[in-house]
């Protein structure tokens, strides 16, 4: 991170403005879905992102020359937190937060002209081709190859856990263009049109019963050589740049604060079935979770301030990733258990339409709660598993 003292803003006034914008511009149907743990379609995300684009806020952290607003880290943090607190959908990150900054930092002028406008308008949907069956958190062990053939690269291999590849128009992908003694070398960052012949997308239905992710197969897929970002073999450098960006706000404190409010409502609703002793135990456990969340919010703010001042200890994003994902899992376990015997109920189809958390039927409420519980299992894995993050933290502190 670099110092970002430009574009000073009044945080209190800006947060008020964000809250009002969400109230005035988020579709009521989408708000209802988010507030009640219901399934969101691609169109829900696109409509919200395009509303943000019309305001000039969708790519707020991008430089103005590429269509952004030059937000500081602090302003971006305030924006994301307030949107989440007010039940806006998450911003799908693969375009605007991941490949977009890679392109305007390392891309050619032609690549910037071709791809950045579609990212900002949400007319082009991206996915990320990183993990493979035997190369997840050990990303440098990837084996998908790209062999040069004139003005093209011929890509063969497979990518795993590719979220929203079934929605995507484009993929930003890491491929091996050279076998080297050091596995971090010989990797190239490549942009791939998902309509290219030879690409097969196979759905993976995860533990929550929902189709989020996929396995993508490449069979002699011909990709123009002009789609290489940076120099051939620079992929590892670009991947680290992208992953640092991905993890910076992965603590997602706004969503957790809103979830804490929902947990408290659920506990009050079901507490009458508990004995005084059981209720006291639940309230004590909830107080501990609430304190942990307060500490996480403060820790995130401390790192934001450090990044604003140009001080990066190299572990901040990893620390937030570990603390945030593990707290999310603890919160969802507590929420599930607060439902009592109803906490065992889950049907994915009960999250499509209806009242969700506001339903009278406890098994419908349980579907919304248990979706959060089940989906939270993956938070400590994606973006680099927490075990890998702890290795990064220890290696940095002990070097």
Q: In whole angstroms, how far apart are CA 384 and each of 123, 141, 246, 346, 388?
A: 28, 13, 10, 28, 6
Asked if residue 260 lies in contact with residue 338, where contact means CB atoms within 8 angstroms, the answer is no
Q: In whole angstroms, how far apart are CA 56 and each of 42, 121, 125, 145, 325?
A: 21, 10, 19, 39, 30
User: CA-CA distance, 174 to 165, in Å (whole number)?
Assistant: 15
User: CA-CA distance, 372 to 351, in Å (whole number)?
Assistant: 11
Cα dihedral: 322, 235, 102, 97 (round 10): -30
Torsion region of 155: left, alpha or beta (phi above 0 gives left; psi -120 to 50 gives alpha): beta
Asked if residue 96 lies in contact with residue 103, where contact means CB atoms within 8 angstroms, the answer is no
Is 246 annotated in the active site?
Answer: yes
∠ at Cα 70 (193, 93), nearest 5°?
Answer: 35
Cα–Cα nearest to 356, from 34, 97, 63, 85 = 34
Show the tokens assigned to 88.
């806006």
Q: Which of 76, 82, 246, 300 is catalytic?
A: 246
Q: Tell me the CA end-to-end span of the chain in Å, nearest whole number.
A: 20
By annotation, the residues acting in catalysis are 246
């Amino acid at each position: 991170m670099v110092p970002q003292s430009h574009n000073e803003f009044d945080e209190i006034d800006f947060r008020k403005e964000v809250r009002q914008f969400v109230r005035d511009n988020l579709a009521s149907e989408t708000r209802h879905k988010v507030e009640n743990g219901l399934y969101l379609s691609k169109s829900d995300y696109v409509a919200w992102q395009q509303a943000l684009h019309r305001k000039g806020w969708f790519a707020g952290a991008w430089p103005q020359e590429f269509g952004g607003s030059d937000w500081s880290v602090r302003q971006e943090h305030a924006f994301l937190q307030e949107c989440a607190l007010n039940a806006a959908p998450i911003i799908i990150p693969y375009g605007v937060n991941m490949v977009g900054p890679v392109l305007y930092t390392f891309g050619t002028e032609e690549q910037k002209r071709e791809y950045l406008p579609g990212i900002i308008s949400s007319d082009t949907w991206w996915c990320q081709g990183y993990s493979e069956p035997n190369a997840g958190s050990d990303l440098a062990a990837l084996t998908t190859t790209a062999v040069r053939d004139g003005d093209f690269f011929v890509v063969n291999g497979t990518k795993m856990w590719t979220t929203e590849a079934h929605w995507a128009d484009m993929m930003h992908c890491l491929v091996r263009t050279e076998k080297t003694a050091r596995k971090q070398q010989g990797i190239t960052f490549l942009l791939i049109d998902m309509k290219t012949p030879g690409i097969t997308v196979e759905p993976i239905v995860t533990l929550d019963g929902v189709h989020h992710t996929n396995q993508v197969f490449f069979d002699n897929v011909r990709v123009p050589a002009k789609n290489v970002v940076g120099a051939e073999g620079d992929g590892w450098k670009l991947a680290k740049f992208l992953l640092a960006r991905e993890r910076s706000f992965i603590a997602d404190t706004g969503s957790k604060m809103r979830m804490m409010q929902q947990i408290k409502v659920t506990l009050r609703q079901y507490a009458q079935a508990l004995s005084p002793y059981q209720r006291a135990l639940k309230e004590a456990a909830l107080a501990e979770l609430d304190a942990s969340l307060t500490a996480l919010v403060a820790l995130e703010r401390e790192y934001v301030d450090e990044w604003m001042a140009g001080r990066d200890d190299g572990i901040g994003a990893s620390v937030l990733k570990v603390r945030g994902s593990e707290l999310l899992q603890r919160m969802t376990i507590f929420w599930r258990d607060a439902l009592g015997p109803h906490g065992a109920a889950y049907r994915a189809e009960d999250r499509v339409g209806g009242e969700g958390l506001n339903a009278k039927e406890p098994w419908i409420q349980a579907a919304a709660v248990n979706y959060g519980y089940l989906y939270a299992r993956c938070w400590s894995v994606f973006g680099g598993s927490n075990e890998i993050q702890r290795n990064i933290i220890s290696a940095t502190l002990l070097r």
